[in-house]
A and B are shown apart, each in its own frame.
Chain A
Amino acid sequence: MEKHFLADMMAAEGPSRFRAEPWYNPDGDCIIYKTADEAIVADRIDELLTVYNSAVDNRPIGFQIKGVHAIIRKFGLDGLAVTSQSDAAGVKYISIAALLLAAYEEGEPTLARRRAYAAVMEGPVQRRTISADELQPA
């Protein structure tokens, strides 16, 4: 395979290692969470949730929550925060499950949506919060 077009740019960035953790993408105002280092095929559930299925065997290996700041505006950070995990500096941690529940409330309560949201919440999530400080818009 030919050289990656970003190879020279990344040459000084050190080693690469998969990490299963949620992260906020400010350019898309979305939280992305993948639990396996495999290519995904996206299965859009509704306006706010997309499930990532493995391109290897079609099992769910992650999800994307869109419209994060719209959700925060509606529910408030305090409505989504995990208060027991505020650290000494007062940094709040947002519950991924609370975000998912808030996203679910935005749509029609169909069986397909309920199943998809339940499957995501029951999935092999290794980190269940994200620091509110990370949620800085672009």
Chain B
Amino acid sequence: MAADFACKTIDPGNPAGPMTDAIFPGTYTLRLYKNSPVDYENLRAPKYVLEDPKRIFFGVRVFNQGGWCYTGHPAEWCIRERIIVPFSKDRVFAVYVNPNMRVYECRAEYADPQDPACPIQWQQRYRGLTWKSTS
């Protein structure tokens, strides 16, 4: 059984405070490694986004209280085995973490044309913006 992997990121409960750990669960990473090689390769993208987020949203799920969505733009990603391409500017990479800061979903989404650091229709999908990068 693969161990969990901890990645330092901004604490969504206290963005100005010390960094906190986001956990890539071992069960999740092992599942991707064994059964979904492209998704496993692309775990580089959520690690990058957690380390350099551009936006953090709260209220991401209707039936599961809590949790956050971190977004950012990795430079490149793997779209098919051994095919690495630049990450498209009209997309944004989203990393979803549950209230225990455990990563459960990592994926590209269509970006909001008004603010490409946000997923499209983020105002309807999430309850709000927790934090925004100024860089």
Contacts and interface: CB of A to CB of B under 8 A. Distances in A.
A74 to B, nearest CB: 10
B80 A56 contact: yes
A67 B64 contact: yes
Interface string A15-40: 01111010101111110001001111
Interface of B: 2-3, 5, 24-31, 33-44, 47, 61-64, 77-81, 84, 91, 94, 96, 98, 100, 102-105, 107-110, 119, 121, 125
Given A29-B63, A39-B79, A42-B109, A6 B102 contact: no
24 contacts: A5-B5, A5-B47, A6-B5, A9-B29, A10-B33, A13-B30, A18-B37, A18-B38, A23-B35, A25-B31, A26-B27, A27-B25, A28-B64, A28-B96, A28-B104, A34-B36, A38-B79, A40-B108, A44-B125, A48-B62, A55-B79, A66-B62, A66-B64, A67-B63
A41 interface: yes
Interface residues of A, number: 40
B44 A5 contact: yes
Given A55-B79, A55-B108, A13 B37 contact: no
A66 B34 CA distance: 23
